Every structure is written in C-alpha cells, then in structure tokens.
Amino acid sequence: AAAGGFGIRPASLGADGGDSESGAGSEEAAMGCSDTFSSLPDMEQESLEEKLRGLAFRKQTSYRKAISRSGLHYLGPPQPTLPPASNGPIKELRTCVDWTENAVNGDHLWMETSCSGELCYLGEDACLLKTAKSAPRRKCAACKIVVHTGCIEQLEKINFRCKPTFREGGSRTLRDNVLRHHWVHRRRQEGKCKQCGKSFQQKFFHSKEIIAISCSWCKQAFHNKVTCFMLHQIEEPCSLGAHAGVIVPPSWIIKVRKPQSSLKNSARRKKRTSFKRRTSKKGLDDSKWRPFILKPLPSPLMKPILVFVNPKSGGNQGAKLVQMFMWILNPRQVFDLSQGGLREALELYRKVPNLRILACGGDGTVGWILSALDELQMNPQPPVAVLPLGTGNDLARTLNWGGGYTDEPVSKVLCHVEDGAVVQLDRWNLLVEKSAVQPEEGTQKLPLNVFNNYFSL
C-alpha cells in the first residue's frame, strides 16, 4: 500500500497536469513511507527508494498504455507542443443528431452556453484560448463538457469523442458491441464517490483541479485518485445506470451501408423529377432505404422511452428539456419536433417491444403524435405520456400529469413514465357532411377531424 501511494500519482490522469490528491491523502502516504523505512540503513533505504521509483514508473507507463488501448488517451497529460490558435473559420458545428449516411459515431452535440465560469475541458496546457476570458464557449448536450469554440478542433486532435449512440453494421458478434463506460473528467461533481463513499470536495468556481472521473452513461463518479479509480475500470462494461430500463442501447441502433445497386442507379434516380425523394430536416429519408435500422433485444424489464419535444411550447423550456434528455438517454431517442422527423422516428422504432412515448408539449402536440400513430397503425400502439409545456394542458391534467412543467427533475419524470399505469383514451373521428337545409357555403376546411374525448362526453 505504501508503494502504491508513493509511486502512482493521480496527476497522470489530469487533463491540466495538476495534482488532484488532497492534502490529507498526501500527508498520510508520506507518513506511511516514513514509518516503514525510517529504521533502514542509508544505503538500503536509497536502494529501496530507487526500486520504488522504478516500480512507479512501470505502473504509470502501463496505466497510460491501457488508457491508450481503450481509446481514452485523452486522460493522459497533453502534449506540450500545440499549434497556434487560428482566427479563421472552423467547420460547421453539429447541434443536432445526424441521421444521414455520413453520421460519425461519437460526434458531440454542441449547444450554446452561458457557462462563462467553467474552464475549457482541455485544461491550461492544451487550451488555445486560455488568456481570452470572454471567448465563446460550447457545451455538449450528451456528455456535458465545455470547451471554447476555437478549441473544438484541438479536442478532435486528441480524439476525445462523445458517448457512442449507435454501432456499425459490419460488427460480427454482440461481443464486439459491448457498451463500455464513457469516462469524462470533472472539475465539479455532485454526489459521492462510488468507491469510497465520500463526497466530492467542492472547489472554487474557477478551480483548475480535476476532482472526479465520471461516466456520461451510468453517471457513476470516482475521485481522481488511484485508490478510488482503478485501472481495470477503464475497460469495464457499463450497465447504463438507474435508467437502464428506458435507455435505448447503442447496440440496438445499427448504421447500414447503402446497397451497391442504389449506388449504381443513383445518377439515374436523380434524373427522374417525378419521383423526388423527400428528406426531413433531421436527415431521415422517406425512401425505402434508410441509413439506420433498429434490432432490439426483447426483455420484459425494458420499457424504452421515445421522447418528442416541442420547443415552441412553454417558452424556452422545450429547448432546455432536449438537452436534459440527451444527457440521461441515448440522444437518438430524443427528437426535437421543430426539426421534423416525427413519422420517420415512429417508423424506425415501431418494432421496439414495450415502447413508451413521452410527448413534451401542449395538447396540440399530444394530438399530433396520436394522429401520427393512427396513420402508421402501429400494433400494439405504444402508450403516450405527457409532460405539459403548453398553456391549456387539459389533457395532461386529466391524465394526472399536472397543468404545467415546474422544473421537476427529468430523472423523476422518466421514472413516472416507466412506472405509470396505462389507461384507455376515447378518441373520435369527426365526419362532417354538408347540410341540405342550409344552402350557404360554410368553412372550406374544418380545423379538426379528430376529437380527444378526455372529458367523457
């Protein structure tokens, strides 16, 4: 224990190269070494110290090799030589999930943020804009890291990817698609360490010290110490945490290659103007071939939730909810209705057993989703829960979801959807015929043809 505490330092994990051991922990390690070797002769003590240094170097080297093999070499200290910051234009940042054939696994979803107090994830040594206090920043909705907009390219150079959301179709077996933890450094962390059970030390707002390492999937967090975060945990499979029953695993969503026949006939199809392919803003094709398919593994314990959010309802609450759900769930099961893709998403998930839908919006949003389910004739039809964001929300009140969203934790909402009881809702199709008594022309087009009878008329 004395050799381990003396030789390996958590600084090898820090993105900013800082020592993340607490003062008390360092003092205990020093006292242990002093008590153990104080009675040895000087020659033997020097020899033993040299052996300990060699052992520490070998452990540190093997630790870095393991990090590199796991694809997490960003946890190691950054390279001292960095290219100068460029003021030129950078490539377009991805702000929504890519459903096209060009989708890249591990793409970050960059959202605008006002977190001016949070330091760049790259740390002092690797950040290109550390002296620019007012430089714009972006925050990833899926893994919650904050970086300068000008440092995003540098983040890609050290190959720090976001949590995976799908798997490639060329994978042979399910063993190749085991979901592993997605470890991220944190300078601020709530809760307690999974290993020692102690709370995380809350540093100042501008603290540069890495105090925790957490998984963006299961949300487990550990102190940035070798006594808490072990080497073997880097390659451990992830259980997806408390919401494993509602999260769509990345192994279910498969990216497939375009058939060769489609590639050969692509030029011919472009010439046919009468058979244009319609594409939604989300990139989901209405044609027969789609870049993504779903192959779920049925389980009675699984109740996957498909989330639809209308950001136009309830002020700015919808936009914030999209980011909250992407943090807890797989971003590919969260859809922003302002980007389109409602029907395509339902078609993609129609074969998922025990599927449940969460509609975040007003009564009109819920009716829109119910009408889309009627058109697709899904059997069995998935139950729909409501997170009220609109102004009326009478349907949400009737189903005991309340009259509005009051910033309740999203984690609690997902638990309610998972455990909620399924009830029947009476819905009418309205067929209006022209009156023979009144010859005057009425409204050319009626506003509604479906009536949700939640008032039990």
In a domain? residue 265: no
**Which has the higher per-residue pLDDT, 220 or 446?**
220
| Range of 7-11, 272-276, 334-338 with top mean pLDDT | 334-338
Of the three residues 189, 209, 239, the one that is the final residue of a domain is 239
- Confidence (pLDDT) at 176: 59
Same domain, 234 and 360: no
d(CA 264, CA 284): 21
Same domain, 168 and 293: no
**Which has the higher per-residue pLDDT, 444 or 17?**
444
Same domain, 206 and 78: yes
| 420-443 pLDDT tens trace | 999 999 888 888 777 777 766 665
In a domain? residue 247: no
Same domain, 286 and 235: no
In a domain? residue 297: yes
Distance of CA 211 to the CA centre of its chain: 22
pLDDT surpasses 90 at 214: yes
Peptide bond preceding 380 in cis form (omega within 30 of 0): yes
In a domain? residue 408: yes
Instruction: List the CATH number of the domain containing 400.
Output: 3.40.50.10330
In a domain? residue 457: no
| 78-113 pLDDT tens trace | 333 334 444 444 467 889 999 999 999 999 999 988
Same domain, 198 and 305: no
In a domain? residue 367: yes
Residue numbers of the domain that contains 414: 253-258+281-429
In a domain? residue 154: yes
d(CA 103, CA 291): 9
**Which has the higher per-residue pLDDT, 47 or 192?**
192
pLDDT surpasses 80 at 4: no
Same domain, 111 and 219: yes
pLDDT surpasses 50 at 311: yes
- Confidence (pLDDT) at 251: 93
* Mean pLDDT calculated for residue range 226-245: 92
* pLDDT tier, 288 (very low <50, low <70, confident <90, very high otherwise): confident
- Among 217, 214, 191, 215, smallest CA distance to 202 is for 191
* Residue 95: count of CB within 10 angstroms of its CB: 14
Same domain, 55 and 192: yes
Same domain, 229 and 350: no
- Confidence (pLDDT) at 430: 82
pLDDT surpasses 70 at 293: yes
Token pair, residue 62, equals: 């093997």
Same domain, 288 and 183: no
Number of domains in the chain: 2
* Mean pLDDT calculated for residue range 239-261: 91
* pLDDT tier, 274 (very low <50, low <70, confident <90, very high otherwise): very low
Q: What is the pTM of this model?
A: 0.74
In a domain? residue 296: yes
Same domain, 308 and 226: no
pLDDT surpasses 90 at 342: yes
Residues 294, 349: contact at Cβ < 8 Å?
A: yes
The pLDDT mean for the chain works out to 76
What are φ and ψ of residue 196, in 5° steps?
-100, -15
> What is the maximum span of the chain, computed from C-alpha positions, in angstroms?
116
